[in-house]
């Protein structure tokens, strides 16, 4: 009896340790994500309040696309080198990416009404929270959903390239609707993936993986927000 009680106590202690490890990792992931979103919002509002800076950005395609490529490079650096990047370096790259996103977002703040932006943000926040909770608590694997979403993402990117040269309202509407579905699925999948990751990474490098996970969720939130804003937002006259 004593041996049984000792085994049961050890199992309970092990379960508590696992839960604490997962909770600690996810707390860092979501903490970094919220910091990134905050930096993006502050930079976007600061840029939008300076007409001269906005005119410079809007009137210089080379500068604008240079920022876009810089953002893509930062995403690639954090995602592909997460196993070797120092946590501080990963965090710095993520914060820099968040700031650059805020610069490009300033044009969006000026294109849509404040009420539309607020509505899109709160709609996105509600959807994101529900999806992240679902992904974190789902018992069945969402790997198939993730594969479906990734294929859909490739389709959205290719269609967006076509839409850049061929202006069609119908095509843009299809891209937006598919985009909402894709980033909805990716949010749930990534939430489950990060919960599993919490049990696989340990030591100092776990900090870099937490930042990389935050970047994944940040990208899902930002892109879902953009799709909802395009779908429901009202442009300034």
Encode pLDDT of 92-109 as tens digits.
Answer: 999 999 999 999 888 887
pLDDT averaged over the chain? Answer: 85
pLDDT per residue as tens digits for the range 32-80: 999 999 999 999 988 888 878 888 887 888 888 888 899 989 999 898 8
Q: How far apart are CA 91 and CA 44, in angstroms?
A: 20
Per-residue confidence (pLDDT) for residue 10, from 0 to 100: 39
Closest CA to 142 of 200, 180, 187, 179: 187
- Judged against a pLDDT cut of 80, whether residue 134 lies above it is answered with yes
Do the beta carbons of residue 29 and residue 217 sit within 8 Å? yes
- Judged against a pLDDT cut of 90, whether residue 15 lies above it is answered with no
3-state secondary structure of 112: strand
H helix intervals, 49-142? 51-58, 61-80, 87-111, 114-137
3-state secondary structure of 236: coil
- Phi, psi (5° rounding) for residue 235? -80, 155
Closest CA to 236 of 48, 93, 40: 48
Q: How far apart are CA 146 and CA 190, in angstroms?
A: 8
Do the beta carbons of residue 218 and residue 105 sit within 8 Å? no
Per-residue confidence (pLDDT) for residue 237, from 0 to 100: 67
117 against 16, higher pLDDT: 117
221 against 163, higher pLDDT: 221
Percentage of the chain exceeding pLDDT 70: 92
Do the beta carbons of residue 79 and residue 215 sit within 8 Å? yes
Q: How far apart are CA 12 and CA 224, in angstroms?
A: 39
H or E segment to which residue 45 belongs: helix 2-48
Do the beta carbons of residue 53 and residue 63 sit within 8 Å? no
- Judged against a pLDDT cut of 90, whether residue 6 lies above it is answered with no
State the average pLDDT over residues 107-126.
87
Q: How far apart are CA 216 and CA 214, in angstroms?
A: 5
pTM (two decimals):
0.88
Per-residue confidence (pLDDT) for residue 21, from 0 to 100: 82
Q: How far apart are CA 198 and CA 212, in angstroms?
A: 12
Per-residue confidence (pLDDT) for residue 233, from 0 to 100: 74
81 bridge partner residues: none
Per-residue confidence (pLDDT) for residue 220, from 0 to 100: 95
Per-residue confidence (pLDDT) for residue 29, from 0 to 100: 94
Per-residue confidence (pLDDT) for residue 108, from 0 to 100: 80
Alpha carbon of 88 to those of 39, 60, 201, 210: distances in Å? 17, 33, 17, 11
């Amino acid at each position: 009896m004593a041996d049984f009680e000792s085994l049961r106590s050890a199992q309970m202690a092990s379960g508590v340790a696992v839960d604490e490890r997962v909770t600690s990792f996810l707390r860092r992931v979501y903490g970094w994500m919220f910091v990134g979103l905050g930096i993006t919002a502050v930079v976007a509002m600061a840029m939008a309040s300076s007409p001269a800076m906005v005119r410079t950005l809007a009137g210089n395609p080379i500068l604008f696309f240079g920022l876009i490529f810089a953002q893509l490079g930062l995403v690639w650096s954090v995602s592909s080198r997460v196993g070797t990047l120092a946590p501080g370096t990963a965090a710095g790259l993520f914060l820099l990416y968040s700031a650059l996103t805020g610069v490009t977002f300033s044009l969006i703040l000026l294109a849509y009404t404040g009420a539309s932006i607020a509505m899109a943000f709160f709609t996105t926040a509600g959807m994101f929270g529900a999806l992240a909770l679902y992904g974190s608590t789902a018992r069945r694997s969402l790997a198939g959903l993730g594969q479906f979403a990734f294929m859909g993402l490739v389709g959205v990117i290719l269609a967006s390239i076509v839409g850049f040269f061929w202006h069609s309202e119908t095509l843009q509407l299809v891209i937006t609707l598919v985009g909402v579905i894709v980033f909805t699925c990716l949010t749930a999948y990534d939430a489950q993936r990060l919960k599993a990751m919490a049990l696989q990474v340990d030591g100092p490098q776990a900090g870099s993986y937490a930042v990389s996970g935050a970047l994944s969720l940040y990208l899902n939130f930002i892109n879902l927000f953009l799709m909802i804003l395009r779908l429901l937002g009202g442009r300034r006259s």
